[in-house]
Amino acid sequence: MTEKEKMLAGEVYDATDPELLCELAETRERIHDYNALRPSETEKMRAILKGLLGGIGDDGIIINQPFRCDYGKQICVGKRFFANFNFTVLDEARVTIGDDCFIGPNVSIYTACHSTDPVERNTRQEWARPVTIGNNVWIGGSVTILPGVTIGDNVSIGAGSVVVHDIPSNTVAVGNPCKVIKTL
């Protein structure tokens, strides 16, 4: 398997692989172009997003600038998606976001995993776990979602939360670590 195939399969891979580094550089160029557009250039923004992301539910999506991601192709968003300023997605694994989701400012979604052992970590070997977010989800400002997390449908995540475990559907969850405080 190539290092990219290992990455997409959730296996340990070499993050310094030349193919991966090339893809990261290409994505950064596209992200730079996106973030350099005037806010009124919505058609150009949509065209870049369509070419960058792995799937878009419709043209009704809005991702305010600045936006950051690693590869883009592993990110799929549903219909009527909105992300506010400073949305960051480290998409070494698939990130799936459902319909009618609203993302507050400064939200980060991480799929990349690294060893806690410093010697292992310094080898640049890593792995990735997918993140799934259901339909009708609101994620408050400055939320961090960690690798492997699934957030169900009809969920609200309070501002500043760090989501380290799955959050079931029809709930409100807050905190660090994020915990369910209310069932709808």
Where is 120: in which H helix or E strand?
helix 118-121
- Told to judge if 32 belongs to the known catalytic residues of this protein, a careful annotator would answer no
Nearest alpha carbon to residue 138 among 179, 81, 176: 81
The whole-angstrom separation of Cα 17 and Cα 55 is 25
Rg of the chain over Cα atoms, rounded to whole angstroms, equals 16
Q: From the candidates 32, 44, 50, 114, which is the catalytic residue? A: 114
The token pair at 70 is: 């690693």
List, edge to edge, every strand of the sheet that includes 112-114.
13-14, 125-128, 112-114
What residue type is assigned to position 49 of the chain?
Answer: L
Q: Which residues are catalytic?
A: 114
